[in-house]
Amino acid sequence: MIRERTSRHPTAVQLGVMVGHPPPPELRVGLHNWQQAPFNRWSFRHTRQVIPTANVSRGLRPVWELPKVTTALGDIRFDSAGGVEITLADFLNDSWTDGFIVLSNGSIAFEAYQNGMEPHSRHIAMSVSKSITSLVVGALVGKNLIDVNELVTRYVPELSGTAFDGATIQHLLDMTVANAWREDYFGDTTEFWRLDVACGWIPPRDGAAPTLFDFLKETRQDGQHGEEIAYSSLNPDLLGLIAERVADAPFPAVASRELWAPMGAEFDADLTVDPAGMAVADGGYCIALRDFARIGQLFLNGGAAKGHQVIPARWIDECRSAQRRPFHRTSYGADLPDARYHNQWWQLDGRTCAMGIHGQMIAIDHEAQVVVAFVSSQPQPNETHLRQEQLRIVAAVCEAASRSNKAGGRIEGSDGLSQGGGDPK
């Protein structure tokens, strides 16, 4: 079912962001403000109007159709992190959610859009992109084009003497490269802005590397590779570059060939590129909501879609086999104390997740056969309490689906009633 919902928070149109012919200067979106509230209410759905992007084509193959079933998921209630019982609708209205979808046994059980988001809208994925990049790398590993045990410098010899000297592809995948550069969104000493400059996500600044490749060459090692998780967006960006070199094609074309087209994506995707045209593989995918869900279903299916293998099943199994490692120089250890991380995917409470700042998430529950995806425009990069609420929703949806599967019926809400849904306005 599809629902157009009214959010408690003002929409981009209600705020007047990019409204008018032309919009007034104070409500225009550009590189200087697109990641900031309230401008992100518009820009996260119109990223290619702000930043250069490359097309990730779905090609001409048939769409992977997702059947629809009628459920009462909108009535599900759960205890919030504050101990108050709320409904799914309450959360969607209060959390700057732009789109929310649930697949149960491969069918769309619930689908909601807010803030002007539509089924064809391409919403920025932020760090969910890292997990998507992992799937592309997995396809290349399956073709013996990449060896995860090989040194990074075999593929990119220009990085000898940098933080990546002595690191393997597996270190990149697991975020265990001992890089002195720290990924921190806040604090007086944060240098996260340097990455944004290199990506082309904010205007150039004096003293900052102008491109991702220049930034990679400036890094320095701090410690031993493989000992701790030092979360860094540079790692998947480098994976994208390595994929380009082994496939001898731009990364967006590689992603199209290895994943987007064979998966049967419904819409093309966008991928932001830096000033030199290098893909921002760590956070730059812009994707329609149902294609977020298809990524999750592909993972749930062991890498298969429409009856054929897209990503090697062995790669999917490996992604789920994460071991506990300490987190280093990052808030994730405190925010997600039981989390495991491997091959650019999170393991949380028995589920596989892809997560990005400002409220982007794909959650996959193999036991319940459920995929849940959120796209959002939360005001702050890391809203810990909102992420906790998202995970509580995922747990409640999966519990309802498990009950339904055992009973052989439809997913029901807390009041036991099923509901239909109308077309979006």
Lay out the sheet containing 269-272: strands in order across: 53-56, 269-272, 285-287, 123-124
Contact 118/111 with Cβ under 8 angstroms? no
The CA distance from 167 to 147, in Å, is 13
Cα separation values, 377 from 9, 212, 357, 386, Å:
11, 25, 9, 12
Q: Which two tokens stand for residue 425?
A: 């306005």
| Amino acid in the structure at residue 314 | R
Per DSSP (E only), the strands in 288-411 are 304-305, 308-309, 340-342, 345-348, 351-356, 360-365, 370-376
Q: Which two tokens stand for residue 44?
A: 């996260």
| Amino acid in the structure at residue 27 | L
The CA distance from 43 to 379, in Å, is 12
Q: Which two tokens stand for residue 33?
A: 């403000």
The residues near 381 (Cβ < 8 Å, ≥ 6 apart) are: 185, 357, 358
For the annotated catalytic residues, the residue numbers are 127
Q: State the DSSP H helix or E strand holding residue 386, giving kind and residue range, or none if neither.
A: helix 384-407
